[in-house]
Amino acid sequence: MAESVRTWAANNTELAATLAAGTPPERALTRWSMELLRGHRTTEALAVMRAALALSPGDPERWTNYGALLNQENIPAEAAACLEHALALSPGRPDTWVLLGMARKKLGDPVAAEAAYREALKHQPNSIPAWQFLGLLKQEQRQYAEAIDCFTTCVKAGGTDASLFANLGRLYYQVGRIPETNKAYRRAASLDPANLHYLRMARKTSFLQDIIAGESVDEAVAGFKNSYFKGELMAENELADLFSSAFSLLSGFGYLEAARRLGAKQLELKPHNPSVEYILKALAGDPDLDRSTSEYVVEHFDGFAEGFDAQLVDVLGYDVPEKICSAVRERTAAGKLYDTLDAGCGTGLCGPMLRPLSRRLTGVDLSPKMLDEARNRGIYDALACEDLIAYLGRCPAQFDLIVAADVMIYFGDLKPIFSGAAIALRPGGLLACSIESWNGAGFHLQPSGRFAQAPDYVRSLAAAEFEQLADIETTIRLEGIGRLLGDIFIFRRR
């Protein structure tokens, strides 16, 4: 080791001068390692830090620094080992526990990562990094209420980073807490005024907040326009996009009176909007609606197609495809292949799980753009753009398996679905479907425009042509900070 130090000193005048001034070699090497890292000479920096550790193996700070270097260079297993050694030498180091949590998270062990963050908080209850990284972990796990608690505690502890407030704003937005969303994004925009996303979200949520507070839509629009700086131009479609997303959010999160006023203004400006007309009827609880209108379904999903998977799966934790396909696999013969229909296939989320079960895999959906996304997966033998009930009626005895994941929510009266499935399935064929559960009788149109059904209602309709194989009570996706309850049914055609 001494020879290595002499060689390095001979080639680096600054290191040689530091050593000549009487600085202990391990300290001089640590300092030089940091300089090498700043110069992006990572391999050399790691070698020099290893030399410093060899000269002072009992120094927990150097083990921490080395672990941080390894973690930064995406070598998490070795980083975790170094950090654990540092903590074995000195367990009361909150920053080391935070670094260990980061390394464990990279290793794909969120439970151990959380344990490390919480250990850091035991030693330093107001640790801003510990609360922030724990919040990010909870956010990734879609535990939004816990994530909000972590970030708000971080703010109370003195956190002032713009990204902290933006994360908090994003979480509040996802659970429909609009006033808090607006406050968080306005703070983020004030801390980082160059970030256009923060500014746009602050404007959008100010508009929403004004409408929720009872202002007229015209007043809220005027406030939105006045938030633009002198010389700043509004995008051509910005108001139309704002109205559309705001209407969806207000109706979806239960701001019903505000949604009605905004929807009425949209129809005043643009009559005959199928989506707005349908949702306004849903908000009013129109008793004549027993299914979503085709015009609404096409317009809604065509506009949603490109970001559908990311929003539904990544943000809302939608896992019905996995659950329903798992239930089907448990009730099908090993090695047997089926003529399968993915009913209401959308972008094809069920497709990869149905393909191994299928001799021929067909998808049907009303939305052309959703079908384009499904086609891009390259796993379907055929795709049909057609109303589901009409399609089932013209395909007698063509399928052994029909899977309808999150389809029944667009139908209140399920009798035509079961009648059509009975026509399209061969004797002994399986129908697997999911519903959002309703505690009352029959079906219920929700303000979101989705339908929920009572499980007994589903069973009674199916009984005429089907034998029930399974009724699995489950959750469908996140709604606010909770999971939406539902059922997965599997029926066999008699």
Tell me the per-residue pLDDT of 184-214, one tens digit each, with 9 for 90 and over: 999 999 999 999 999 999 999 999 999 999 9
Q: What is the Cα–Cα distance from 291 to 410, expressed in whole angstroms?
A: 6
Tell me the per-residue pLDDT of 244-287, one tens digit each, with 9 for 90 and over: 889 988 998 889 999 999 999 999 999 989 999 999 999 999 99
Q: What is the mean pLDDT of residues 86-91?
A: 97
- Per-residue pLDDT, 481: 58
Domains in the chain with CATH codes:
2-173 (1.25.40.10), 196-302 (no CATH), 308-493 (3.40.50.150)
- 174 pLDDT band (50/70/90 cuts)? confident
457 C-beta neighbours (distance < 10 Å), count: 19
Instruction: Please tell me what DSSP assigns to residue 126.
Output: T
User: Is 90 exceeded by the pLDDT of residue 333?
Assistant: no
- Per-residue pLDDT, 391: 98
Q: What is the mean pLDDT of residues 153-167?
A: 96
User: Is 90 exceeded by the pLDDT of residue 307?
Assistant: no
Residue recorded with tokens 């083990």: 63
Where does 331-424 show beta strands of DSSP type E?
338-343, 358-365, 382-385, 399-404
For 14, the token pair is: 């600054």
Q: Which residues contact 215 (CB under 8 A, 6 or more apart)?
A: 223
Residue recorded with tokens 């015209």: 218
- 47 pLDDT band (50/70/90 cuts)? confident
Q: Which of 66, 123, 125 is nearest to 99 (CA)?
A: 66
- Per-residue pLDDT, 364: 98
- Per-residue pLDDT, 304: 61
Tell me the per-residue pLDDT of 68-84, one tens digit each, with 9 for 90 and over: 989 988 999 999 999 99
Q: Which of 403, 370, 382 is nearest to 298 (CA)?
A: 370
Cβ atoms of 440 and 411 within 8 Å: the answer is no
For 76, the token pair is: 């998490």
Instruction: Please tell me what DSSP assigns to residue 349.
Output: S
Tell me the per-residue pLDDT of 216-239, one tens digit each, with 9 for 90 and over: 999 999 999 999 988 788 888 899
Please give the backbone phi and psi of residue 451, each rounded to the nearest 5 degrees, phi first: -105, 145
Tell me the per-residue pLDDT of 338-350, one tens digit each, with 9 for 90 and over: 999 999 999 999 9
Q: What is the Cα–Cα distance from 113 to 47, expressed in whole angstroms?
A: 27
- Per-residue pLDDT, 236: 80
How high does pLDDT run on average in the chain?
92
Cβ atoms of 80 and 104 within 8 Å: the answer is yes
- Per-residue pLDDT, 4: 75
Q: What is the mean pLDDT of residues 149-153?
A: 97
Q: What is the Cα–Cα distance from 438 to 457, expressed in whole angstroms?
A: 10
